[in-house]
């Protein structure tokens, strides 16, 4: 089960963050106002609950939020037959379809391999004939002889041998020890015993035998073997290419199937999910028709702290890769991809230690997604964010139509987190109702680095889905807990064979890593000092020279947290209203 811990901060305002995930002032913000956190449970007639959530998602877009869904899973009780068949039954059906598709792929691959085997063999012969024909055209007798040598040898070993004891060249070689060599030395023009005797200097008896054998060889080669090899190679090659194409088609057809299959994720797939279902008091899947589906809605948009006099701020179109926080290896990697700089975001460095901390967790094969976040993934996320700050016509899509308003150029975001549990219950009388349980409904003030982390998790989720497909179709394999591409496994296992052309470089100890480590030590020291002083009741804040807001007491609580608070209020009100909660019971936000 994925469990990414996002850094919390700044300290000391947020105290309950786990060690190692506490951001100091200036390093970033990821904190929800105390008021912007609640449980919302709306029980509504069947159909309304889904509409409510879907409606909110559309509404969030109108308010300028980008949104996505995360951590989907479902449970349908078998008693809920029609729904069960549609969801879980569908999953089984897709599973069977995948199996069949795999059989097709397997068959196609098998056919391909067999064909390839045959083509290789025919090609080998055809190569000799090609060499022979070329030598003939160039009137190069030596080359002609060389090319024919193998064909002649083949004739001796596989064809003539059947002419029997005392007749085949192989069987008479013991008494004419040079007869095979003599036969190999013949050419097409050697068609009489006299010519052969003169050419090789052998007895008449041997020359007579060789004359016959040479004639047999020519007839076999020109009337049977060569024409057959020629036409069969053509046929086989055509079949092979067709089969190659069909394998690709079959595999490509598999991808959406697998994706669909994996998309139906059952809550019971994980121990935590099973524990949860067992714990819920009202959930009686075998006695009553009910279903639960869970997911988390993430929505984010930047905000600007309202100030009377806003300090002018210089903005850039791009940053150098170094400015953006990439290390030397990452820069090299990006340059290989043709990226010399990166679209600018309000704050640099874009890739700071917290972004790296999140990436580290995402890449973790047990608690994370077990996928590699590449520099290009980071680049793409940054580019995507950047485009929201641009005039619509300057974006990659270059269209003037864009949902919501143009984002203010700010590194501070409202990040809304809505973990939804939607329950559908069919009561024994046949009536249906839905329950939308959101716990905790929360709105954060998150800085640019945290949002980048969130977007990288979204990227990882997508990559994981592709990786699952890739595992399914064998392009990747799991080695322990780590998923590796099959080609990479081969290169690691047999580097001299599969990575022959790649120079295996031992990565240098990163200087930047050292620097990061030193910074961590200093930070830990600061935290310890702050904690120690705090125990005496003295509030101590050591500001980190980061790019984000540092004045906690003065600006954070008084000004910055208003934005997530207001956002939370708007969403809360919208949901309640849509859920039909009477206004009299609604809490008024001040």
Partner 1 sequence: MNKQYTIGVSSGLFGAAQPEERIAYAGISQKAFYGALKGVEFTQIDLESVTEFKEPGLQEKIKRLKQLGIRFGIHGESYAMGGREVPLRLDSAIMDDYKRSHERLLDSLKGAGEIGAEYFLLHASESLPFLLLWREFQPFDLVDIWGRPFKDFLEQEKDWVFDWILNQDFIKNMRDIPDMGYFKQRIMERMMLQGKKEFSEKDLKDIELKAKEEVKEHIMRLVSSNTQTYGAERLAYYITAKWMERNKDPLWINIAGENNTIEDKEFREKHEDKWVPAVASKYIWGHFNPETCPSGQIYDDPKQLLEIYKLYFVFETGMAMKGYEKLMRLSRPLHMIYLSKQIPSKYFGVTMDFEHMLGADIDPEQEIKEIPDGMASFVKVLHLGWPISLQPAHMPIPAGSDQQLYIYKRLYELRKKGFKSGYLIFERGGGKDPIQKSIGVLRKIVEYLEKDTPPDKLPDDFFGVGETSMHSFRRQWNIVFEHAFDPLKGLITHPEEEHTFLGKAALGRGKRPEEWKKEELR
Interacting residues toward partner 1 by CB under 8 A: 111, 114-115, 117-118, 121-122, 125, 154, 158-160, 162-167, 172, 175-176, 193, 203-206, 208-209, 211-212, 215-216, 219-220, 224-225, 228-229, 232, 236, 239
At its nearest, how many Å lie between partner 1 and the CB of residue 155?
8
* CA 74 distance to own-chain centroid: 23
Q: Which is nearer to partner 1, 228 or 397 (by Cβ)?
A: 228
At its nearest, how many Å lie between partner 1 and the CB of residue 148?
14
CA triplet 576, 577, 583: central angle to 5 degrees?
Answer: 90
355-393: b (≥16 Cβ within 10 Å) or e: bbbbbebbbeeeebbbbbbbbebbbebbbbbbbbbbeee
Q: Which is nearer to partner 1, 154 or 185 (by Cβ)?
A: 154
At its nearest, how many Å lie between partner 1 and the CB of residue 199?
18
At its nearest, how many Å lie between partner 1 and the CB of residue 234?
12
Please say whether the dihedral angle defined by the alpha carbons of residues 169, 171, 175 and 178, taken in this order, is positive or negative: positive
Q: Which is nearer to partner 1, 164 or 201 (by Cβ)?
A: 164
Tokens of 405: 């308003």
- End-to-end distance of the chain based on CA atoms, in angstroms? 39
Q: Which is nearer to partner 1, 153 or 511 (by Cβ)?
A: 153
Tokens of 236: 């086989």
Count the neighbouring beta carbons within 10 Å of the beta carbon of residue 507.
6
Tokens of 64: 């300028």
As a dihedral over the C-alpha atoms of residue 562, residue 567, residue 569, residue 570, rounded to 10 degrees, the angle is 140
Q: Which is nearer to partner 1, 160 or 293 (by Cβ)?
A: 160
At its nearest, how many Å lie between partner 1 and the CB of residue 176?
7
Query: 291 in helix, strand or coil?
Result: strand
Count the neighbouring beta carbons within 10 Å of the beta carbon of residue 258.
22
Q: Which is nearer to partner 1, 170 or 268 (by Cβ)?
A: 170
C-alpha 14/C-alpha 32 separation (Å) is 9
At its nearest, how many Å lie between partner 1 and the CB of residue 334?
47
CB proximity list for 535: less than 8 A, separation 6 or greater: none
CA distances from 535 to 498, 522, 539, 544 (A): 60, 20, 9, 21
C-alpha 124/C-alpha 324 separation (Å) is 55
Q: Which is nearer to partner 1, 213 or 464 (by Cβ)?
A: 213
At its nearest, how many Å lie between partner 1 and the CB of residue 189?
18
Count the neighbouring beta carbons within 10 Å of the beta carbon of residue 278.
9
Q: Which is nearer to partner 1, 219 or 360 (by Cβ)?
A: 219
C-alpha 427/C-alpha 447 separation (Å) is 46
Q: Which is nearer to partner 1, 228 or 493 (by Cβ)?
A: 228
* CA 541 distance to own-chain centroid: 42
Q: Which is nearer to partner 1, 168 or 380 (by Cβ)?
A: 168
Residue that has been written with the tokens 């590449």 in this structure:
374
At its nearest, how many Å lie between partner 1 and the CB of residue 147?
16
At its nearest, how many Å lie between partner 1 and the CB of residue 212?
4
C-alpha 369/C-alpha 379 separation (Å) is 19
Q: Which is nearer to partner 1, 208 or 305 (by Cβ)?
A: 208
Count the neighbouring beta carbons within 10 Å of the beta carbon of residue 186.
22
CB proximity list for 224: less than 8 A, separation 6 or greater: none
At its nearest, how many Å lie between partner 1 and the CB of residue 169?
11
Q: Which is nearer to partner 1, 99 or 223 (by Cβ)?
A: 223
At its nearest, how many Å lie between partner 1 and the CB of residue 224?
4
Q: Could you give the count of Cα atoms lying within 13 Å of 198 in the half-sphere of its Cβ?
A: 7
Residue that has been written with the tokens 């930070």 in this structure:
523
At its nearest, how many Å lie between partner 1 and the CB of residue 138?
26
Q: Which is nearer to partner 1, 203 or 493 (by Cβ)?
A: 203
Residue 298, phi then psi, degrees to nearest 5: -115, 135
At its nearest, how many Å lie between partner 1 and the CB of residue 198?
14
At its nearest, how many Å lie between partner 1 and the CB of residue 188?
16
Give, for 62, the enclosing helix (H) or strand (E): helix 48-62
Q: Is 408 left (phi over 0), alpha (psi -120 to 50) or beta?
A: beta
Count the neighbouring beta carbons within 10 Å of the beta carbon of residue 302.
23
Q: Which is nearer to partner 1, 131 or 488 (by Cβ)?
A: 131
Q: Which is nearer to partner 1, 11 or 172 (by Cβ)?
A: 172
Residue that has been written with the tokens 């069919």 in this structure:
426
At its nearest, how many Å lie between partner 1 and the CB of residue 216?
5
CA triplet 415, 394, 330: central angle to 5 degrees?
Answer: 65
566-576: b (≥16 Cβ within 10 Å) or e: bbbbbbbbbbb
């Amino acid at each position: 089960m994925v469990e990414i811990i996002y850094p919390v901060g700044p300290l000391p305002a947020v105290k309950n963050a786990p060690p190692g995930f506490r951001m100091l002032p200036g390093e970033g913000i990821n904190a929800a106002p105390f008021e912007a956190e609640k449980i919302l449970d709306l029980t509504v007639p069947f159909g309304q609950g889904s509409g409510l959530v879907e409606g909110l998602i559309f509404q969030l877009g109108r308010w300028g939020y980008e949104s996505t869904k995360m951590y989907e899973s479902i449970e349908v009780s078998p008693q809920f037959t029609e729904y069960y068949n549609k969801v879980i039954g569908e999953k089984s059906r897709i599973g069977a379809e995948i199996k069949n598709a795999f059989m097709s792929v397997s068959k196609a691959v098998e056919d391909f391999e067999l064909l390839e085997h045959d083509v290789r063999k025919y090609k080998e012969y055809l190569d000799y004939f090609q060499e022979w024909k070329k030598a003939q055209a160039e009137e190069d007798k030596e080359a002609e002889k060389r090319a024919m040598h193998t064909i002649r040898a083949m004739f001796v070993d596989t064809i003539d041998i059947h002419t029997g004891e005392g007749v085949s060249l192989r069987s008479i070689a013991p008494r004419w020890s040079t007869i095979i060599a003599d036969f190999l030395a013949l050419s097409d023009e050697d068609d009489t015993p006299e010519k052969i005797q003169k050419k090789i200097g052998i007895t008449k008896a041997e020359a007579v035998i060789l004359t016959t054998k040479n004639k047999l060889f020519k007839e076999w080669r020109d009337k049977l073997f060569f024409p057959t090899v020629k036409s069969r190679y053509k046929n086989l090659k055509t079949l092979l290419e067709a089969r190659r194409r069909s394998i690709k088609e079959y595999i490509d057809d598999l991808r959406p199937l697998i994706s669909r299959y994996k998309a139906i994720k059952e809550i019971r797939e994980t121990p935590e999910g099973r524990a949860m279902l067992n714990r819920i008091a009202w959930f009686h899947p075998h006695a009553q028709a009910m279903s639960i589906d869970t997911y988390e809605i993430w929505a984010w948009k930047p905000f600007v702290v309202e100030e009377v006099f806003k300090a002018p701020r210089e903005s850039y179109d791009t940053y150098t890769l170094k400015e953006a926080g990439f290390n030397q290896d990452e820069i090299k990697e990006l340059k290989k991809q043709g990226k010399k700089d990166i679209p600018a975001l309000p704050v640099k460095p874009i890739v700071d230690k917290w972004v790296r901390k999140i990436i580290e967790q995402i890449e973790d094969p047990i608690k994370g997604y077990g996928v590699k976040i590449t520099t290009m993934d980071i680049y793409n996320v940054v580019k995507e964010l950047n485009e929201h700050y641009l005039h619509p016509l300057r974006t990659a899509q270059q269209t003037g139509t864009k949902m919501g308003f143009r984002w203010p150029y700010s590194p501070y975001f409202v990040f809304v987190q809505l973990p939804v549990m939607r329950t559908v219950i069919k009561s024994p009388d046949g009536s249906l109702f839905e329950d939308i349980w959101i716990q905790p409904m929360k709105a954060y003030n998150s800085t640019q680095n945290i949002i980048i982390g969130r977007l990288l998790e979204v990227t990882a989720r997508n990559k994981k889905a592709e990786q699952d497909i890739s595992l399914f179709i064998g392009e990747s394999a799991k080695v322990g807990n780590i998923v590796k591409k099959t080609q990479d496994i081969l290169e690691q296992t047999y580097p001299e064979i599969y990575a022959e052309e790649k120079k295996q470089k031992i990565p240098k100890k990163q200087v930047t890593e050292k620097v990061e480590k030193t910074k961590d030590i200093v930070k830990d020291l600061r935290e310890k000092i702050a904690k120690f002083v705090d125990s005496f009741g003295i509030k101590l804040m050591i500001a980190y020279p980061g790019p984000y807001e540092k004045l906690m007491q003065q600006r954070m609580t008084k000004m910055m947290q208003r934005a997530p608070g207001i956002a939370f209020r708007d969403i809360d009100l919208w949901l309640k209203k849509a859920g039909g909660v009477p206004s009299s019971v609604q809490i008024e936000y001040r």
